[in-house]
């Protein structure tokens, strides 16, 4: 069973300036709810029991958001507002589920995941990138179902336009079925010429515990960062099975201003 989810949250959010100059991008609301809560709800509905948040000292607001008990209690004592009480109950539920680890230098997703090593108990865990929202399906649940079927590692994937491949981690496809395929290679942000397909990694992964050992061996890759993609690649080369799950829902990019504005519109349309 997949019970734990790692969420790297230490990124600076420069693509979202000016909104991120004082507020972590993961707390910016989309239709009245922080981006991060959409991700958490997806996880809880997929059976996740524990979150490991990788934050930095600059992003302590994330911790405060979930642990501001004094503030809530003062208000609840004064006003008997049911909505606020329910929000507080939700926060209290999340408090019990979250552990924090720190990544104070932005050294990449691989480095962020490695920082969680001591907390991971089971053979496999879920990892989600909060910039990537997926609506109209529970993508984590889809990944978990495919993991149950294949007993292997899983990555969420979707087809992107060929001209855009250098924005993503790109997968090599073998044994393609309707909704999934085996991954025979992966390249982080390749040129159009070097891309093995146009199936891109979207930020949901079921990874094996043994990936920590691979991350430790990595040297900084693309952009001087330690990429989880490179550790995955080395595991594939050592005959570990990885499958790409072609998820059903709609992908929304919440990591750029234009993507964020579009996400607000799409989620609003879905609620009408
Ligand atoms: C990261 C991954 C990349 C993946 C993308 C999905 O890139 O490194 O492989 O395709 O997330 O959003 P980033 O968005 O951090 O540049």
> What pLDDT, on the 0 to 100 scale, is given for residue 79?
82
Q: Phi/psi zone of residue 245: left (φ > 0), alpha (ψ -120 to 50 degrees), beta?
A: beta
Mean pLDDT check: name the lowest of 9-18, 72-81, 147-156. 72-81
The pLDDT score that the predictor gives to residue 272 is 67
* Higher per-residue pLDDT: 222 or 3: 3
Cα–Cα dist 219/225, whole Å: 8
pTM: 0.96
Q: Which structural domain range is residue 32 located in?
A: 4-271
Sequence-distant (≥ 6) Cβ neighbours of residue 269 within 8 angstroms: none
The pLDDT confidence band at residue 226, using thresholds 50, 70 and 90, is very high
Question: Atom 6 of ligand 1 has which residue's CA nearest to it?
Answer: 202
Residue-level pLDDT at 245: 98
Nearest CA to ligand 1 atom 2: 169
| pLDDT at 223 (0 to 100) | 84
Phi-psi region of 246 (alpha: psi -120 to 50; beta: other; left: phi over 0): beta
**Overall number of domains in the chain:** 1
Q: Is 40 in the pocket of ligand 1 (CB under 6 A)?
A: no
- Percent of the chain at pLDDT exceeding 90: 93
The model's pLDDT over 135-157, given as tens digits with 9 standing for 90+, comes to 999 999 999 999 999 999 999 99
Name residues whose C-beta falls within 8 Å of residue 271's C-beta, 6 or more positions apart in sequence. 31
Q: State pLDDT tens for residues 27-71.
A: 999 999 999 999 999 999 999 999 999 999 999 999 999 999 999
Q: Which of 131, 165, 196 for a ligand 1 pocket mutation test, highest count of atoms within 8 Å of Cβ?
A: 131
Q: Helix, strand, coil % (nearest 5) of the chain?
A: 40, 25, 35
Strand partners, 124: 208
Q: What is the mean pLDDT of residues 231-236?
A: 98
Question: Does the structure show a pLDDT above 80 at 81?
Answer: yes
**pLDDT 10s digits, 167-225:** 999 999 999 999 999 999 999 999 999 999 999 999 999 999 999 999 999 999 888 89
Q: Return the pLDDT at 66.
A: 97
132 CB under 6 A from ligand 1? yes
The CATH number for 30's domain is 3.90.550.10
Q: Rounded to the nearest 10 degrees, what angle do helices 139-150 and 35-45 cross at? A: 40
Name, in order, each residue with C-beta under 8 angstroms of 70's C-beta and a sequence gap of 6 or more.
Answer: none
pLDDT value for 53 = 98
State residue 170 phi and psi, 5-degree precision.
-115, 140
Contacts of 157 (CB under 8 A, 6+ apart): 171, 199, 200, 201, 202, 244, 245, 246, 247
């Amino acid at each position: 069973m997949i019970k734990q989810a790692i969420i790297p949250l230490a990124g600076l959010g420069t693509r979202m300036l000016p909104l991120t100059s004082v507020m972590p991008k993961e707390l910016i609301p989309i239709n009245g709810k922080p981006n991060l809560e959409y991700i958490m709800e997806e996880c809880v509905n997929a059976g996740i029991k524990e979150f490991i948040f990788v934050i930095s000292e600059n992003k302590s607001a994330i911790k405060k958001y979930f642990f501001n008990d004094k503030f809530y209690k003062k208000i609840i004592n004064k006003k008997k507002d049911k909505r606020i009480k329910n929000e507080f109950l939700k926060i209290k539920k999340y408090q019990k589920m979250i552990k924090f680890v720190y990544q104070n230098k932005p050294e990449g997703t691989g480095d962020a995941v490695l920082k969680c090593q001591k907390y991971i108990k089971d053979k496999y865990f879920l990892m989600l990138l909060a910039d990537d929202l997926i609506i109209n399906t529970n993508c984590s649940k889809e990944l978990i179902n495919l993991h149950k079927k294949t007993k292997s590692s899983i990555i969420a994937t979707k087809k992107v336009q060929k001209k855009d491949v250098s924005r993503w981690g790109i997968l090599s496809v073998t044994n393609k079925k309707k909704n999934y395929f085996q991954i025979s290679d992966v390249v982080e942000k390749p040129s159009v010429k070097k891309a093995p397909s146009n199936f891109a990694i979207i930020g949901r992964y079921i990874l094996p515990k043994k990936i920590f050992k691979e991350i430790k061996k990595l040297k900084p890759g693309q952009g001087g960062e330690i990429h989880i993609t490179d550790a995955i690649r080395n595991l594939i080369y050592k005959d570990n099975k990885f499958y790409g799950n072609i998820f059903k829902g709609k992908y929304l990019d919440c990591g750029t201003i234009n993507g964020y504005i579009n996400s607000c519109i799409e989620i609003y349309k879905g609620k009408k």
